[in-house]
Amino acid sequence: MAVKGVKRDIRKQSMEELISFFESKGEKAFRGKQVFQWLWQKSTYDFKGMTNLSESHRQLLEQHFTINPIALDQSQVSSDRTIKSRFKLHDEHLIEGVLIPTPKRMTACVSSQVGCSLSCKFCATGYMDRARNLDAAEIYDQVVQIKDQAREYYKKPLTNIVFMGMGEPLLNYQNVLTAIDHITSPQGLGMSSKRITVSTAGISKMIARLGDDQVKFNLALSLHAANDEKRDKIMPINQSNSLQALAHALNHYYRATGNEITFEYIVFYDFNDTLKDAEELLKFTRKVPSKVNLIEYNPIEKASFLNTEKDRLQQFAAFLERHGVNVTIRYSRGKDIDAACGQLANRS
């Protein structure tokens, strides 16, 4: 319900609500559809830019609504051409997003929360407090700005989006799904759901809910250890979301969507890099159709973990491959500007 004299955030209005607004002012319903298109397809942040609306229509919007876009605060370009951007929100909070360029892909890594509440021991964001969730428009804006960077810097379109920035996406469930709807809808950016991956530290009931909602995007689980004792040590969320519970939720998700799961596994030196660890991971991969990304660890100041040695990593990968697991080794991008996986913490 609108409060008299207080402008509403127009990007929190559905198309139906915008249509109803115009109809309540004695205007045609299609005006609401026009505004919705300006907001989500053309990414317009200023009512004055809605040029197929009359001056009186634009003034009407100014009187009743506001737009709160994120603003680029600063950006850094890595030696490997990765671009890290710090964005300022309308309430002065800061978040980070990353453009990861490769010969075949332009990937946007976006945040879903200001900070994080899960306290994973290897992740810089995990040492921050969670200030608040991002709303759907703030997630969408990251994609738009990083998409523009891909065009400006590399003359290429954005091809992929990963929710692997700051925060736990499944603890901001509805805003993440609403943002993805605006990103993939023909009335929005029109990107393919198959080009989007949401990564979770493992919230069992929300993984099951993804299945219930029959989402079309890809799901990745930050696993990093395939036994509960080790995972408890580095990911406190595991104490309330055990591997057994996660396997059950993942199977529900797979049966509902038909999408295989990606297991992300950072290989830490002398912690989870032995062949016994590989055997445990192999056993877990057989619980649900999946593939494995082995990830290079990116050191942070507040943790003492080390990246495993190259020969151990190769042996680990070879063991999984011999047993039929689809394995990819992911090497870090943007490490020199603290833009790599696990390093985002609003540091310049």
Residues with active-site annotation: 96, 341
Residue located via tokens 């332009």:
106
Tokens coding 43: 């990414």
> What tokens appear for 173 in the block?
């469930």
Instruction: Tell me if 207 sits within 8 A of 250, measured CB to CB.
Output: yes
Alpha carbons within 13 A on the beta-carbon side of 184 = 17
Q: 3-class DSSP state for residue 306? A: coil
Cα dist from 322 to 242, 268, 274, 282, 315, whole Å: 28, 21, 16, 11, 10
Q: Which of 172, 171, 191 is nearest to 181 (CA)?
A: 191
Q: Which residues, 6 or more positions from 11, have their beta carbon under 8 angstroms from its beta carbon?
A: 39, 40, 67, 68, 135, 136, 137
Strand partners, 221: 200, 263
